[in-house]
Chain A
């Protein structure tokens, strides 16, 4: 039975269709893995019954000849997506016990496509964090360990750390993630899996607990590029309930996958070469360049001159939006209410929000409130928006001379839990390569490319033109085929 949990989404789909196994067998196998991996703390809520119900339906559909695109595939759902009848917390105390009576558009699409849910995956609280250490329900632990004899617990990345850890540990073949400033790509890189953030607007934000509305974008995380394509096809699509949703047809990305990059040009951004960066990162990047040349692509150096301003701009815009988006958690209508004896409305707000939000969330609300306040707005928010425009223009100009951009996903491999928690700025720096594509709303993915000298996975990032997820996936596939990344974490949990 354990073999079933080694299968990819495509293999499960095809094997189920061919009658090699039943969907219920698959769901039971993954349910067992989930139940046996409590040590990773990847799930906040486990929903084995949901997975089994979907599997039974898939088996019935197979008999009836009415199979759907994801029939028989159980997945993990990041606990930022509202799920009807299943607790949705955003990993916060504020929403502990909150059970929505509605289903997010993306999760509904996945259920409609036949997928089942293994559980709600842990994350950084309100998706704010790069290590999963801000979750109210305890940090997720990466299945990976350094090959240094020590047993230091490592971060699975964040904010989609439950998703990355669960996939890497074979608790689910694929999962949803959301990416505001790298929250799909960085955890994928840290755990040796793939993940794609599509063009802003591809996936509806309706029913996803908001962090920073102009940046939040859902996307899939899975073991390989094909699975990302399959998942994304079943997550994306125009939604009239989201005013920023793209009114475009969803391409058949899987069918058009091709690792032949003849005639394609790959841009290498000069500004992403950072002084003092881990030499393993640079070596992986160089290897990636060679792989894409091998796939037929031409490689050119490009310039993204405003890159160094991206991180500061991001850490103004995202907290500004968050400070407003999180104002609704006030104890009045749902979620936590902390009403001290004899308290008035203001006291209730203060007590509820002091208790309901963790330190990182409070920090960002404070930053966001500050940068939007009278007298500081122009110096911070307006300036950051100008930077954002310049960064988008950098990409536009760069894409005049290339089709995709290749860069590292993160400046380091996974770090140890607790190593960066005392220094928020060091933590924020982990997003340095991920944030520019987020600010520009561009599709970007991370694929595993190598192991560093400590035996930890490293990821390469491919950034594409707006709407060109296909170009991104194809370049990712070219790397995947050549990198031959088959390493996996030894089971210790």
Chain B
């Protein structure tokens, strides 16, 4: 249970949140036309006769978009409706060539499902929580207006017109900005694992309509407002917090929340009313007579299911059972690219725990520093496997491994080649180590005294000095043993 509360003048208020996430389907072609969907192309270059709603043009469903939505539904363990239908949502706007959007109101493609958000104490999520998803339906995106091209006229770019969207509608199951943020991140992660949406919120591939209401804990739901087109996790959380506070202040000052659509202004971090329920469009939904009902057969569904990759929850569970820490498992599975890279590393025979530690500290650190990602990772999983193998079989120490890794990044050479070339191989030659230990102890006689007098913490100091003298190449275990003997 979330204990997130808005503290008002008259007591505490609980926040109830539902999200409608619009996710652009990854596909080379639009939902009902053969036109391409490249982002950032010159205006009106990705437009077919159908997208421009020329007279007599007809929509034909793009099987790949349907397939991606079905796979997404399967990934959230949702009911897939083998019979669904497209409806027209009628309204006039210059970016909507047909004068209606083809959507699915009455019979969506995907029914009830859910996803898990993990516990995150620091963020205020004390335990893992299942968030219900009411439905996913498929619909067309609109074009966009450009208001900065002419002093008195607006221009229309139809490149996005007709691009396939999945509208993923959650249950009002979230109770804090943190839960909503975790939900969006998890949903994004799943979409990216499935490959049905690139999850790029900056480019608008994913955006959320945020439904917020407040109530006294345990009361009935309050009246909700809907803030449209919020395009980052941070903004989603900011909208919820701001809107909840606004509603509480409004109620406590004797006002009532009205059901309305609001817009978020990130520059001022506030929402403002766009239209009230009374002004809401009458969309005159009705079944699109240009399209037959969408009927899916078992073979198609089976193909969709078989094509699903291992999903974040399953991967996380597998990592945990291999002994990887919950923190590392979360970090590794959050993004599909890191998870796939890590899996490839495991396939080289790398030991899971050591590999996880190395990836989350050394590799993440290096990528951060170099401004790179797993997609353009400068080392391959095979190269990393070679490096970790040298540590595991005692050829080099962890300390040397860091140096070798740096040299790998610089030169692109393999770990073993670097170790050979630079003579970094770890030694277990007791004679050489004993010689260095003798020198260290002689040079630090005072500390030896203190150690013998009971200051055992100094043992680490002697190890460090010895390793330094050995230029890091001594086997730490052998150093430990020989030091203990020497210190008697």
Interface residues of A (CB under 8 A from B): 81-82, 88, 90, 95, 98, 100, 102, 104, 205-210, 212-214, 240-244, 320-321, 323-324, 326-328, 330, 332-334, 345-346, 349, 369, 372-374, 377, 381
Q: B58 an interface residue at 8 Å Cβ cutoff?
A: yes
Q: Are B59 and A324 in contact (CB under 8 A)?
A: no
Given that A82-B56, A208-B56, A241-B58 are contacting pairs, would A213 and B92 also be in contact in the complex, using a CB cutoff of 8 Å?
no
Task: Determine if A327 and B100 form an interchain contact, defined as CB atoms under 8 angstroms apart.
Answer: yes
- Chain B: CB-nearest residue to A210: B56
In the complex with contacts A98-B55, A205-B56, A205-B58, A327-B286 CB distance below 8 A: no
Q: What are the residues of chain B within 8 A of A210 when measuring CB–CB?
A: 55-56, 290
Task: Please report the C-alpha to C-alpha distance between residue A213 and residue B61 in the assembled complex, in whole angstroms.
Answer: 16
Q: A324-B99, A327-B100 are in contact. Are A243 and B54 (CB under 8 A)?
A: no
Which residues in A have their C-beta under 8 angstroms from that of B220?
none
State the CA gap A212–B282 with chains docked (Å): 21
Number of interface residues of B (CB under 8 A): 30
A328 contacts B53, C-beta separation under 8 Å: yes
How far apart sit A324 and B53, CA to CA, in the bound complex (Å)? 12
Assess whether B90 is interfacial by the CB under 8 Å rule.
yes
- Report chain B residues within 8 Å CB of A214: 289
B284 within 8 A of A: yes
- Among A326, A327, A372, A374, max chain B CB count under 10 A is at A327
Whether A328 pairs with B98 at a CB distance below 8 angstroms is: yes
Residues of A within 8 A of B289 (CB): 212-214, 321
Residues on A with C-beta less than 8 A from B88 are 324
Distance, CA A205 to CA B55, complexed state (A):
11
> What would 25 A/B residue contacts be, using CB atoms closer than 8 Å?
A82-B55, A88-B55, A205-B56, A206-B57, A206-B58, A208-B56, A209-B55, A209-B56, A240-B60, A241-B58, A241-B60, A243-B292, A244-B291, A324-B99, A324-B284, A326-B99, A327-B90, A327-B92, A328-B98, A333-B52, A333-B54, A334-B55, A372-B90, A377-B284, A377-B286
* Cβ-defined contact, A374 with B282, below 8 A: yes
A90 to B54, CA, bound (A): 13
B18 on the interface (CB 8 Å rule)? no
Q: Known A240-B60, A324-B284, A349-B92; judge A333-B292 contact (CB<8 A).
A: no
* List of B residues within 8 angstroms of A328 by Cβ: 53, 55, 97-99
- Is the beta-carbon distance between A100 and B60 smaller than 8 angstroms? no
Can you list, as one digit per residue, whether each of B272-309 has a CB less than 8 Å from chain A (1) or not (0)?
A: 00000000001011100111100000000000000000
**Contact among A88, A346, A373 for B284, CB-based, below 8 A:** A373
Contact between chains at A90 and B55 (CB < 8 Å): yes
- Does B94 sit within 8 A of A, measured CB to CB? yes
B331 surroundings in chain A (CB, below 8 A): none
Bound Cα distance A330, B99 (Å): 8
Measured in the bound complex, the distance between the Cα atoms of B290 and A212 in whole Å is 9
Query: B156 on the interface (CB 8 Å rule)?
Result: yes
Residues of B within 8 A of A377 (CB): 284-286
Residues of A contacting B99 in the complex (Cβ-Cβ under 8 angstroms)? 324, 326-328, 330
CB of B264 to closest CB in A, whole Å: 23
State the CA gap A321–B288 with chains docked (Å).
8
Contacts of B284 in A (CB 8 A): 323-324, 369, 372-374, 377
Partner of A332, one of B56, B97, B285: B97
Residue-by-residue, is B34-63 near A (CB-CB < 8 Å gives 1, otherwise 0)?
A: 000000000000000100111111111100
Among A330, A332, A373, max chain B CB count under 10 A is at A332
The 10 closest A-B pairs by CB, nearest first: A327-B99, A372-B284, A214-B289, A213-B289, A328-B53, A207-B56, A209-B55, A213-B290, A374-B282, A82-B56
CB-nearest residue of chain B to A80: B56
The answer to whether A324 and B54 touch across the interface, beta carbons within 8 angstroms, is no
Give A262 to B182 CA distance when docked, in angstroms: 75
Residues of B within 8 A of A206 (CB): 56-58
Pick the residue among B93, B94, B98, B290 that contacts A244 (CB under 8 A).
Answer: B290
* Distance (whole angstroms) from the CB of A354 to the closest CB of chain B: 14
Measured CB to CB, the closest approach of chain A to B92, in angstroms, equals: 6
Q: Are A334's CB and B54's CB within 8 A?
A: yes
What are the residues of chain A within 8 A of B93 when measuring CB–CB?
Answer: 345
Known interface pairs A328-B98, A328-B99, A332-B94. Does A102 touch B61 (Cβ–Cβ under 8 Å)? no
Q: Are A243 and B94 in contact (CB under 8 A)?
A: no
Q: How far is the CB of B186 from chain A (nearest CB, A)?
A: 35
Give the most central of A82, A213, A243, A374: most B CB within 10 Å.
Answer: A243
A445 to B100, CA, bound (A): 34
B214, chain A: closest CB distance, angstroms: 28
Chain B residues, CB < 8 A from A373: 282, 284
Residue in B closest to A328 when the chains form the complex, CB atoms: B53
Distance in angstroms between the alpha carbons of A334 and B98 in the assembled complex: 12
Report the nearest A residue to B91, measured CB to CB: A327
In contact, B54 and A332 (Cβ under 8 angstroms): no
Per the bound structure, the CA–CA distance linking A81 and B49 in Å amounts to 15
Q: Once the chains are docked, how many angstroms separate the CA of A149 from the CA of B423?
A: 120
CA distance A385 to B99 in the complex (A): 23
**Residues of chain B contacted by A88 (CB below 8 angstroms):** 55
Q: Are the CB atoms of A244 and B292 closer together than 8 Å?
A: yes
Please name 13 further chain A to chain B contacts, defined as beta carbons within 8 Å, in addition to the given A242-B58, A332-B94, A333-B53, sorted by A numbering. A81-B56, A90-B55, A205-B58, A206-B56, A206-B58, A243-B59, A243-B291, A323-B90, A328-B99, A330-B94, A330-B99, A372-B284, A374-B284
Task: Point out the residues of chain A lying under 8 angstroms from B94, CB to CB.
Answer: 330, 332, 345
A29 CB to closest chain B CB (Å) equals 31
B197 CB to nearest A CB, Å: 25
> B280 — nearest CB in chain A belongs to which residue?
A374
Rounded to whole angstroms, the CA-CA distance of A241 and B59 in the bound complex is: 8
A332 near B156 with CB under 8 A, answer: yes
Flag if A95 contacts B56 (CB, 8 Å).
Answer: no
How close is B164's CB to chain A, nearest CB, in angstroms? 15
Contact yes or no, B98 A327, CB < 8 A: yes
